[in-house]
Amino acid sequence: MTSLQSRHIDNVYSIATGTALADPAASLVHKSWARCVREHGLDPTRPSPARILPAQEVRAHQQQLEHFLRAARAGMEDIYRRVADLGYMVLLTDAEGITVDYIGNPAWDDQLRKAGLYLGADWNEAHAGTCGVGTCLVERQPMTCHQTEHFDATHIALTCTTAPLFDHSGKLTAILDVSALRSPEARESQHLVRHLVSIYARMIEDADFLRSFRGHWILRLGTAYGLVDVAGEVMLAFDEGGTVVGANGGARQALAGNPLGREVSQLLHMPMDAIWRIGSGGASAMPFAHTVLLPGGGEYHASLLAPRVRRAAAPAAAASGNARPCDRLPPLECIAGNDPAMQKLLAQARRLVDRGIHVLVEGETGSGKEVLARALHGASSRAAMPFVAVNCAAIPDSLIESELFGYTPGSFTGGRAKGMKGLIAQADHGTLFLDEIGDMPMALQTRLLRVLSEGEVLPLGAESPQRVDIAVVAATHRHLPELVTAGRFREDLYYRLCGAVLKLPPLRERGDRRYLIEAMFNEEAAAMRSSAARLSDAALQRLLAHAWPGNLRELRNVLRLALALCADGTVSAEDLQLPAPSDAAAAVPPPVARAEAGDGSDLASADELRALLQRHRWHVARAAAELGVCRATVYRHMKRHGIAPPQRM
Ligand SMILES: Nc1ncnc2c1ncn2[C@@H]1O[C@H](COP(=O)(O)OP(=O)(O)OP(=O)(O)O)[C@@H](O)[C@H]1O
């Protein structure tokens, strides 16, 4: 033991046992020393080596933080890049003080391991004594534990700076730590590190919040105009009905209380319309219109992030007072213009809302089946609950059962250790959209029938079923009765699903093509922030004359590309990537669409599809883009024709 270590032990002993006066400036540390002796029974005269957990136990701790670790990792790598040259390493512990991730210089591996700056090290105060992590876990605030502030004499060469990380419910989740084996003696040398650790802790919390609520609307408020999109201090996540479902630490502080379950418009004293308008331009577009005054005081700039994954659905209709522009997720009324067949279909659809009737939507690929399903959900009393879309053709047969029904821990080889909630259970109280239902394997049709008739789902490996309350909208581009006759689709399931059938016409047959072209053009232009963009008359005529084998999806692709290519904000006929009207090929749908039309050319189609995929080096998304169909359609045809990419060696 060095003389410095024995002097340190004397000092800790006298302060921790109350024989010497504690220094008020170091009260946080001295309080911890006293805790170590009195509560944890640690003895400063007996320094203990670092405790490193075996790999299996570390994995168990990591699994508890599975998703959080990904966001944290990105932050850790970034901070490490900034401090590595100065001799620091970065570690992350869970709320028990166990190191679940770590980045350090591999050349110092042995020393770092000995010092406990390593994966699996236990930094809880109860074992390690006063230290950056352990004491931060108790104090729940950023801190530095510098050299002789450590309790244990083996740690007095270290300097550790930490910050706590909280999840969106305010629960302490992890500690971010930046440590060095050696540093200047002056404590002030760690000042900048402390700022850095606090900033990165905030960024990791923000990333985790944005990930957790990526299916919801997120309102960000910040005091620095121009930074609000990336660094708004206050974040509130809310659903389509305007109810707050998540709030970060900044929001809890600014609103002085727990805003969960409250209406965002009431919290901010703003009508819902004004909140939706924030999303239409962002802070940079309309600086003054988006200033928000919080009831607790303070003026903030605001920005609104739209949901980024398919969870929540279209908003309730205008009657509820939550009307939003039609260009985001069209409510039922905005799905069609003055096409009589479509108007009849929409009137029928509106009558089906909240009647407990399962709906089957038929229509060619890209004709808007999912959009209609979302609008049905959005117009229903389930609008604030999840809309879960499942593409039965895109999920491999081997996975579809576990994806749909979920599984209990250990019941599924290759499954997650914690088990998984199935998509059916995720849609509880909301809507389950079963796209390409005709591709569902027979065995699963039987299980799905049971869910629909008994309102219960039984996850793989579970002993008892769980009740679910779901509205089901199924969709198909096929003629299900034919599949029933061919013995490929259960008749009883067919009758269960088609409580009502809504048949979407192909785009070429719709009389509201002009309305759709203009609405979609405006939507795409707004998304590209080129709201002054124009569609020339010649371009409009060309679009009206095209046959649209890929329907609305093809139209969207063509408009998006034209907007990107047009030189001066005006889309001309030449900007449209469409075959010339005289070109005979214009009338010939691509192979996939042709096979779907049931023209009996399956075999030729299979060869063409294989050649197309080979040309795109088996990049399905690119092949789909060329055909103007979605990826799922290409996968479905690959599956049907037994086309598989070559095995990689
Ligand atoms: N009424 C509409 N207004 C604006 N855009 C629409 C409308 N209907 C569909 N679209 C657009 O067309 C594209 C295809 O729509 P959707 O995914 O609903 O079609 P689908 O019939 O479900 O396709 P698939 O059969 O390939 O699953 C999407 O980009 C969607 O935004």
585 pLDDT more than 50: no
Which own/partner pairs from 7-10 qualify as long-range (CB within 8 Å, at least 24 positions apart)? 8/148, 8/153, 8/156, 9/44, 9/45, 9/47, 9/153
- 335 CB contacts (<8 Å, ≥6 apart)? 342, 346, 368, 371, 372, 375
Count: domains in the chain: 5
Model confidence at 379, pLDDT cuts 50, 70, 90, reads: confident
What is the pLDDT averaged over residues 369-373? 94
Model confidence at 580, pLDDT cuts 50, 70, 90, reads: low
CA of 243 to the centre of ligand 1 (A): 28
- 602 CB contacts (<8 Å, ≥6 apart)? 595, 640, 641
Residue nearest atom 29 of ligand 1, based on CA coordinates: 553
What is the pLDDT averaged over residues 123-139? 94
Q: Which range has the worst mean pLDDT, 107-116, 345-354, 422-431?
A: 107-116
Q: Can you give the pLDDT at residue 323?
A: 30
- Per DSSP, the three-state class of 389 is strand
Atom of ligand 1 nearest to the CA of 520: 4
CA of 449 to the centre of ligand 1 (A): 27
Atom of ligand 1 nearest to the CA of 555: 12
CATH number at residue 421: 3.40.50.300
Q: Can you give the pLDDT at residue 228?
A: 67
Residue nearest atom 13 of ligand 1, based on CA coordinates: 553
The mean pLDDT of the chain is: 82
- Per DSSP, the three-state class of 289 is coil
| Total Cβ atoms within 10 A of residue 339 | 18
Length of the chain counted residue by residue: 649
Same domain, residue pair 595 and 577: no
Residue nearest atom 8 of ligand 1, based on CA coordinates: 368
Q: Can you give the pLDDT at residue 577?
A: 79
What is the domain extent for residue 393? 318-503
Q: Can you give the pLDDT at residue 591?
A: 52
462 pLDDT more than 70: yes
**Ligand 1: which residues within 6 Å by Cβ?**
330, 335, 363, 365-371, 435, 475, 477, 520, 552-553, 556, 630, 632-633
Q: Which of 434, 553, 596 to mutate to test the pocket of ligand 1 (most atoms within 8 A of CB)?
A: 553
Same domain, residue pair 333 and 472: yes
Distance between CA atoms of 117 and 123, rounded to whole angstroms? 9
CA proximity to 444, closest of 466, 422, 421: 422
In a domain, 60, yes or no: yes
> For 169-228, what is each residue's pLDDT tens digit?
788 999 999 999 988 888 888 889 999 999 999 999 988 898 888 778 889 888 776 676
Phi-psi region of 223 (alpha: psi -120 to 50; beta: other; left: phi over 0): alpha
For 409-423, give one letter per residue: b (16+ CB within 10 A) or e.
Answer: eeebeebeeebbebb
Of 28-32, 56-60, 391-395, which has the strongest mean pLDDT? Answer: 28-32
280 pLDDT more than 60: no
Same domain, residue pair 567 and 628: no
CA of 519 to the centre of ligand 1 (A): 13
Residue nearest atom 16 of ligand 1, based on CA coordinates: 368
436 pLDDT more than 80: yes
Q: Can you give the pLDDT at residue 424?
A: 93
CA of 313 to the centre of ligand 1 (A): 14
CA of 587 to the centre of ligand 1 (A): 21
Q: Which range has the worst mean pLDDT, 385-389, 407-411, 457-461, 608-612?
A: 407-411
What is the pLDDT averaged over residues 266-286? 65
Instruction: Determine phi and psi for 484, rounding to 5 degrees.
Output: -65, -45
In a domain, 32, yes or no: no
Evaluated on CA atoms 31, 37, 42, 46, the torsion sign reads positive
598 pLDDT more than 70: no
Stated as kind and residue range, the H or E segment containing 311 is none
CATH number at residue 514: 1.10.8.60
457 pLDDT more than 80: yes
Model confidence at 308, pLDDT cuts 50, 70, 90, reads: low
Distance between CA atoms of 298 and 433, rounded to whole angstroms? 43
CA of 335 to the centre of ligand 1 (A): 10
Q: Can you give the pLDDT at residue 488?
A: 92
CA of 522 to the centre of ligand 1 (A): 16
> For 477-497, what is each residue's pLDDT tens digit?
888 999 999 999 999 999 999
Model confidence at 414, pLDDT cuts 50, 70, 90, reads: low
Same domain, residue pair 423 and 357: yes
Same domain, residue pair 550 and 616: no
> For 223-248, what is each residue's pLDDT tens digit?
776 676 667 788 999 887 788 888 88
What is the pLDDT averaged over residues 410-426? 74
In a domain, 12, yes or no: no
Residue nearest atom 3 of ligand 1, based on CA coordinates: 335
> Of the residues 131, 161, 194, which one is the last residue of a structural domain?
194
CA of 374 to the centre of ligand 1 (A): 10
Q: Can you give the pLDDT at residue 362?
A: 95
Q: Can you give the pLDDT at residue 168?
A: 78
Q: In angstroms, how far is CA 399 from the centroid of its own chain? A: 21
Q: Can you give the pLDDT at residue 412?
A: 61
In a domain, 23, yes or no: no
Q: Can you give the pLDDT at residue 648?
A: 42
Distance between CA atoms of 589 and 380, rounded to whole angstroms? 36
Q: Can you give the pLDDT at residue 317?
A: 28
Distance between CA atoms of 558 and 295, rounded to whole angstroms? 47
> Of the residues 587, 610, 633, which one is the last residue of a structural domain?
587
Residue nearest atom 15 of ligand 1, based on CA coordinates: 368
Q: Which of 345, 371, 548 to mutate to test the pocket of ligand 1 (most atoms within 8 A of CB)?
A: 371
DSSP bridge partners of 103: 90
Residue nearest atom 4 of ligand 1, based on CA coordinates: 520
In a domain, 69, yes or no: yes
- 275 close to 242: Cβ distance less than 8 angstroms: yes
Q: Which of 552, 560, 561, 627 to mutate to test the pocket of ligand 1 (most atoms within 8 A of CB)?
A: 552
Evaluated on CA atoms 365, 323, 280, 229, the torsion sign reads negative
CA of 77 to the centre of ligand 1 (A): 40
Same domain, residue pair 287 and 390: no
Residue 506 carries which side chain, given as an amino acid letter? P
Atom of ligand 1 nearest to the CA of 373: 18
Written as one string, the DSSP assignment of 426-464 is: HTTTSEEEEETGGGS-HHHHHHHHHHHHHSEE--BT-SS
ipTM of the prediction: 0.98
Q: Which of 310, 329, 360, 370 to mutate to test the pocket of ligand 1 (most atoms within 8 A of CB)?
A: 370
What is the pLDDT averaged over residues 47-56? 86
CATH number at residue 122: 3.30.450.40
Atom of ligand 1 nearest to the CA of 523: 4
Same domain, residue pair 423 and 519: no
> Is the model more confident about 141 or about 71?
141
Q: Can you give the pLDDT at residue 325?
A: 33
Evaluated on CA atoms 15, 18, 21, 26, the torsion sign reads positive
3-state secondary structure 618-636: CCHHHHHHHHCCCHHHHHH
